[in-house]
A and B are shown apart, each in its own frame.
Chain A
Amino acid sequence: MGILGFYLRKLYTVFKGEVLVLPSRVVVLLFFLVLIFLPVVTQDPYLLRILILSSIFAILAASWDLLSGFTGQMNFGHALFFGVGAYTAALLNLHAHIPPWGSIPLGGLAAVLAGLIIGIPCLRLKGTYLALTTLAFPIILMGIVFAIPDVTGGELGVSGLARLSGSRITDYYITVALMLGLSTIMWKITTSHTGIIFHAIREDEVAVRTAGINTTRYKLLAFSLSGFFAGIAGGLYAHFMRIAGPANLEVSMSFTVVIWAIFGGVATIYGPIGAVFILFPLLELLHFWPEYRMLMFALIILLTLLYMPNGLLPWVRNKIEKECPRCKIRNVATRSACRVCTAALD
């Protein structure tokens, strides 16, 4: 009992010292708790549906950030991974009768393959060239989808898939848990050794090569990882909506992902996730004025960008937190001295 009490006290001290000191960490904690305990309060199917879709798109937006934000490989065709994941999961489920827990990871693996296939020719391209070239891939695939309607269902898509699970609540917990888990994994990847190399490739690829690092391998790794997560999102989407259609491959889909990620703030992982959880419900909210919905969406983005060109969440974070000029540790904006080294904060 004494030992247990000791560990509990220690846990509390760590919690107070590491989590409660920074508002951004409190917000992340609250975000986790609210998502986990929400169904206890309300089970409104419409609300749950919005949150499920937000979770799925959050995985997608974060996976874009991993590739384009961190590694700097501007991908304008992220819908390709999403679509490959969705179609693979759908076809496997429908023809091979593989249940969702099998077909979704297989969809992810198919998207990894797609990532490698487009990654290899794209290795030689940089910046805008890369962005414009990747835009082409989902459109090529869409042409193929339309050309072989016997397999892919053409314009109508593949429908009649197995449900993700029996009930809306279980669906909710599956997607939310996957979202939180995969986001944490992506966050861990970006702070790991590999993540630092990704970051360095974006900043200066030549310098990274000079340091003796095989950038080709790391760029392909970024393509595969991003493809895997996006493919999982695609599979989840297909099983949740019970349809995989050409809409998953559209240009607007690719653009939406880019909008989410850049609006939230690139190279942060939490930025795109936050942006999806702000913008997607907002878009649903604007359903009250269906005709003005997309127009308002576009205008909100345009106006926000004028004031926060680095993205919404980093802007907010810099407002509520300050970085210590001496030890580079973050502090609450209200403090006048750094919490670790007591240097004066400006």
Chain B
Amino acid sequence: MILDITLSGLINGSVYALLAIGFSLIFGVARIVNIAHTAFYMLAAYFIYYGTKKLGINPALCMLAAVIPVTLIGLISYKLFIDPIREHEAAVLIATIALAMAMQEIMLLIFTGDFLGVPHLIQGHRKIFGVKIAYQQLLTVAAALLVLALVWALLFKTRVGLAIRSTAQDREVANLMGMNDSRVAMITMGVSVGLAAFTGAVIAPLTIVNPFMWMHPLIMMMAVVVLGGMGSIKGSFVGAYILGFAEALVVFLIPMGAFLKGSVALSIMIAVLLIRPEGLFGVAFEEER
């Protein structure tokens, strides 16, 4: 039981952390609340399904390959639909909602609403204290942690990362210091969608692939971002594991828990916000006027 909860919490937490960091990056840099973020995650899962089941490509290769087209789609749709209306925050908001809906409907048209499955990357499982642990689950956690480390390195050890972080802190000053604002936004969008696609790739073998799979992670991702503090990478990371473990605990310990998992996790978020309105690690910014 404890092992079950730990593993499930780790997987949930890693997935939410990956999603939330991507979401909070693009929010920080371009002030875009990207509702379509998890739709890209769904898209990646479908690419993998198509690659492995229909084209018969090696799953490992397919998972790496899926990230590229999804990132491209993300960048193209950003250029086409979001960039021209970026000054109008409300319009951007529903543009991303409409984008997510459009992607959901296109997937629904191509693959119908059937629940699909993707084969595990490495077969087999091992029993530890009577708990069945598939190797795939361990692989997912490991891959997610690796990518989180890479993102951290990108943000804190490279010049691009410096540009992203400084634009997030103060767009105007970053612009004055010679950073091309729209190019940074473009790069960030690429990184952000790439992260979403990667998340979809690692989680696809463990979940059911269907056109509506983006809804639940979207809500949890937003809760994580709010809980951790908007724009704080560390906050997103910690918040993701808190909510991930909370979900796992509720599912395993409370009867009817599967229905309540969202409620409990979101209640935790609200409880934290009541005490710290800027989230766990957020900084209370001066209001932008």
Complexed CA–CA distance, A302 and B95 (Å): 6
Instruction: Verify B109–A295 contact, CB threshold 8 A.
Output: yes
Instruction: Verify B287–A121 contact, CB threshold 8 A.
Output: no
Complexed CA–CA distance, A214 and B85 (Å): 35
- Chain A interfacial positions (CB closer than 8 Å to B): 121, 124-126, 128-129, 131-133, 135-137, 139-144, 146-147, 204, 206, 251-252, 255, 258-259, 262-263, 266, 291-292, 294-295, 297-299, 301-302, 305-306, 309-311
Instruction: Verify A140–B226 contact, CB threshold 8 A.
Output: no
Instruction: Verify B94–A258 contact, CB threshold 8 A.
Output: yes
Complexed CA–CA distance, A255 and B99 (Å): 12
Q: Which A residue sits closest to B265, measured CB to CB?
A: A136
B105: contacting residue among A121, A139, A295, A301, CB under 8 A: A295
How close is A198's CB to chain B, nearest CB, in angstroms? Answer: 16
Instruction: Verify B259–A135 contact, CB threshold 8 A.
Output: no
Known contacts being A139-B262, A140-B266, A305-B95, is A133 close to B226, with CB within 8 Å? yes
How close is B229's CB to chain A, nearest CB, in angstroms? Answer: 9
Instruction: Verify A298–B105 contact, CB threshold 8 A.
Output: yes
Instruction: Verify B93–A262 contact, CB threshold 8 A.
Output: yes
Instruction: Verify A128–B230 contact, CB threshold 8 A.
Output: yes
- Chain B interfacial positions (CB closer than 8 Å to A): 27, 33, 35, 81, 84-85, 87-88, 90-91, 93-95, 97-99, 101-102, 104-106, 108-109, 215, 218-219, 222-223, 225-226, 230, 256, 259-264, 266-267, 269-270, 273-274, 277-279, 287, 289
A136: contacting residue among B88, B91, B102, B270, CB under 8 A: B270
Instruction: Verify B106–A295 contact, CB threshold 8 A.
Output: yes
Instruction: Verify A206–B287 contact, CB threshold 8 A.
Output: yes
3 tightest CB-CB pairs across the interface, nearest first?
A143-B263, A146-B259, A295-B105
Known contacts being A132-B222, A139-B266, A262-B93, is A302 close to B289, with CB within 8 Å? no
Instruction: Verify A309–B33 contact, CB threshold 8 A.
Output: no
Instruction: Verify B97–A294 contact, CB threshold 8 A.
Output: no
Complexed CA–CA distance, A180 and B97 (Å): 29
How close is B39's CB to chain A, nearest CB, in angstroms? Answer: 11
A129: contacting residue among B88, B226, B262, B289, CB under 8 A: B226
Using Cβ atoms and an 8 Å threshold, which residues of chain B touch A140?
262-263, 266-267, 270
* Given A136-B270, A292-B109, A305-B94, 18 further pairs, Cβ under 8 A: A121-B274, A125-B277, A129-B273, A132-B33, A133-B270, A139-B219, A139-B266, A140-B267, A142-B263, A251-B219, A255-B35, A262-B93, A262-B94, A298-B99, A299-B102, A305-B81, A309-B88, A311-B91
Complexed CA–CA distance, A124 and B278 (Å): 9
Instruction: Verify B94–A263 contact, CB threshold 8 A.
Output: yes
Instruction: Verify A132–B225 contact, CB threshold 8 A.
Output: yes
Known contacts being A204-B289, A206-B287, A294-B105, is A136 close to B219, with CB within 8 Å? yes
Jot down 26 A-B pairs with beta carbons below 8 A, ordered by A: A121-B270, A121-B274, A124-B274, A125-B277, A128-B27, A129-B278, A132-B225, A133-B226, A133-B269, A136-B219, A136-B269, A139-B263, A143-B259, A147-B260, A255-B35, A258-B94, A292-B105, A294-B105, A295-B109, A297-B101, A301-B94, A301-B98, A302-B102, A305-B81, A306-B81, A309-B91
Instruction: Verify B109–A132 contact, CB threshold 8 A.
Output: no
Known contacts being A140-B267, A146-B259, A294-B105, is A259 close to B88, with CB within 8 Å? no
Complexed CA–CA distance, A301 and B97 (Å): 10
How close is B264's CB to chain A, nearest CB, in angstroms? Answer: 8
Complexed CA–CA distance, A121 and B264 (Å): 17
Using Cβ atoms and an 8 Å threshold, which residues of chain A touch B104?
294
Instruction: Verify B266–A255 contact, CB threshold 8 A.
Output: no
Instruction: Verify B105–A302 contact, CB threshold 8 A.
Output: no
Q: Which A residue sits closest to B106, measured CB to CB?
A: A295
Known contacts being A125-B277, A147-B260, is A298 close to B266, with CB within 8 Å? no
Instruction: Verify A306–B226 contact, CB threshold 8 A.
Output: no
Using Cβ atoms and an 8 Å threshold, which residues of chain A touch B85?
305-306, 309
A128: contacting residue among B33, B84, B261, CB under 8 A: B33
Complexed CA–CA distance, A331 and B6 (Å): 67
Instruction: Verify B33–A295 contact, CB threshold 8 A.
Output: no
Q: Which A residue sits closest to B226, measured CB to CB?
A: A132
Q: Which B residue sits closest to A128, measured CB to CB?
A: B33
Known contacts being A125-B277, A136-B270, A310-B91, is A295 close to B102, with CB within 8 Å? yes
Q: Which B residue sits closest to A136, measured CB to CB?
A: B266
Q: Which B residue sits closest to A299, measured CB to CB?
A: B102
How close is B157's CB to chain A, nearest CB, in angstroms? Answer: 28
Complexed CA–CA distance, A48 and B212 (Å): 32
Using Cβ atoms and an 8 Å threshold, which residues of chain A touch B84?
306
Instruction: Verify B97–A258 contact, CB threshold 8 A.
Output: yes
Instruction: Verify A294–B101 contact, CB threshold 8 A.
Output: yes
Known contacts being A121-B270, A140-B262, A306-B85, is A129 close to B277, with CB within 8 Å? yes
Instruction: Find the residue from A131, A132, A140 having the highest chain B CB count within 10 A.
Output: A132
How close is B256's CB to chain A, nearest CB, in angstroms? Answer: 5
Using Cβ atoms and an 8 Å threshold, which residues of chain B touch A258?
93-94, 97
How close is B164's CB to chain A, nearest CB, in angstroms? Answer: 18
Instruction: Verify A144–B263 contact, CB threshold 8 A.
Output: yes
Complexed CA–CA distance, A301 and B215 (Å): 20
Complexed CA–CA distance, A335 and B195 (Å): 55
Complexed CA–CA distance, A306 and B260 (Å): 40
Q: Which B residue sits closest to A68, measured CB to CB?
A: B90
Using Cβ atoms and an 8 Å threshold, which residues of chain A touch B230?
128-129
Instruction: Verify A146–B99 contact, CB threshold 8 A.
Output: no
Instruction: Verify B81–A302 contact, CB threshold 8 A.
Output: yes
Using Cβ atoms and an 8 Å threshold, which residues of chain A touch B102?
295, 298-299, 302
